[in-house]
C-alpha cells in the first residue's frame, strides 16, 4: 500500500529527526522525512540561513512522491508557507507549530513589539560573539538564561543562531485551498497573535501544553497526527 509522505521541517534549535522525537512513530503509517534546513549539519560549519535554499530542499522532498503533508516548527514554518505558495500542487496540508510567520502580522501589536525588541539585536549581530548573541537572543525572545558553549555542538548551535535571518523579512501570504493547522503552546502573545490571524483566514487552531515545543506534548502530538490523518482520509475519498 502506498504511504502518503509527511515532511518535517525544524526551527532554529535541534534539526532532522532530533527535532521531532514524538513524531518518529508516524513513520509506521507514513513515508516520513525529517529534513535538515540549509546550513544545519552535525559536523560542517554552519552557514547563513537561506530561505530559497530551504524551499528548494522542501520542494525536492515532495516532488518524487507527488506531494505530501508538511509539518513545520518556528522559522521552519516560513519555508513551509513559501513552499506552499510556490508549489501548492505539492503541499497536501500544512501543520505549523509556533510559526515564526511575523510578516503576516507585521501591523499587529504583539508582532510589532517583538520586532522592536529583537531588531536592534539583529543589527549588531556581526559585532557580537556567538556566545554573547545567543545569550542576548534567548534573554530577549524567551526571558531565559543560556548555559556555556562547552561542547562542539553547542558552539555550532550558537553560531547557527547568529546566522539566521530576521523572520519578519519573508514575503509571506496566506495559501488559499491548502488545509492548515496552527498549533501553539499558549505561553507567548506573539505566537497566539499569529495563530489567531491564521485561524481567521481559515486555519484550524489548537493549543497544547509544552511552551515553545507543543509538538512534544501528548495533546500537541495528537493534534498533528489527527489533522494529517483527517486530511489524508479526505484525499483518499476524493481519489476513489
How would you classify residue 96: left for phi > 0, otherwise alpha for psi between -120 and 50, otherwise beta?
Answer: beta
Average pLDDT over residues 107-135: 95
What's the pLDDT tens digit per position in 185-229?
999 999 999 999 999 999 999 999 999 999 999 999 999 999 999
pLDDT at 158: 93
What's the pLDDT tens digit per position in 129-153?
999 999 999 999 988 888 778 888 8
The DSSP annotation for 167-235 comes to GGGS-----TTS-EEEEE-S--HHHHHHHHHHHHTT-EEEE-SSTT-GGGSHHHHHHHHHHHHHHHHHH
Where exactly are the structural domains of the chain? 5-105+171-239
Say which residues have a Cβ less than 8 Å from residue 80's Cβ, sequence separation at least 6: 9, 58, 70, 72, 91, 94, 96
Average pLDDT over residues 142-165: 87
**CATH class belonging to 5-105+171-239:** alpha beta
Q: Where does the pLDDT of residue 1 fall: very low under 50, low under 70, confident under 90, or very high at 90 and above?
A: low
pLDDT at 2: 82
pLDDT at 111: 97
Q: Where does the pLDDT of residue 8 fall: very low under 50, low under 70, confident under 90, or very high at 90 and above?
A: very high
Average pLDDT over residues 5-33: 96
Amino acid at each position: 500500500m502506498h504511504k502518503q509522505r509527511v515532511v518535517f521541517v525544524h526551527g532554529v534549535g535541534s534539526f532532522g529527526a532530533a527535532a521531532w522525537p514524538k513524531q518518529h512513530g508516524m513513520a509506521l503509517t507514513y513515508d516520513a522525512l525529517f529534513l535538515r534546513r540549509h546550513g544545519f549539519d552535525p559536523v560542517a560549519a554552519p552557514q547563513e540561513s537561506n530561505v530559497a535554499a530551504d524551499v528548494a530542499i522542501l520542494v525536492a522532498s515532495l516532488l518524487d512522491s507527488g506531494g505530501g503533508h508538511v509539518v513545520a516548527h518556528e522559522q521552519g514554518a516560513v519555508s513551509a508557507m513559501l513552499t506552499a505558495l510556490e508549489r501548492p500542487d505539492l503541499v497536501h496540508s500544512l501543520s505549523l507549530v509556533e510559526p515564526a510567520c511575523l510578516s503576516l502580522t507585521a501591523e499587529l501589536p504583539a508582532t510589532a513589539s517583538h520586532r522592536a525588541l529583537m531588531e536592534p539585536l539583529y543589527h549588531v549581530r556581526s559585532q557580537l560573539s556567538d556566545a554573547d548573541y545567543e545569550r542576548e537572543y534567548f534573554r530577549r525572545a524567551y526571558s531565559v538564561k543560556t548555559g556555556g558553549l562547552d561542547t562542539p555542538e553547542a558552539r555550532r548551535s550558537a553560531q547557527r543562531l547568529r546566522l539566521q535571518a530576521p523572520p519578519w523579512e519573508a514575503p509571506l501570504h496566506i495559501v488559499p485551498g491548502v488545509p492548515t493547522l496552527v498549533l501553539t503552546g499558549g505561553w507567548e502573545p506573539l505566537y497566539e497573535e499569529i495563530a489567531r490571524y491564521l485561524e481567521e483566514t481559515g486555519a484550524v487552531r489548537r493549543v497544547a501544553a509544552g511552551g515553545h515545543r507543543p509538538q512534544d506534548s501528548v495533546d500537541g502530538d495528537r493534534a498533528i497526527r489527527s489533522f494529517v490523518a483527517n486530511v489524508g482520509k479526505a484525499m483518499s475519498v476524493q481519489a476513489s
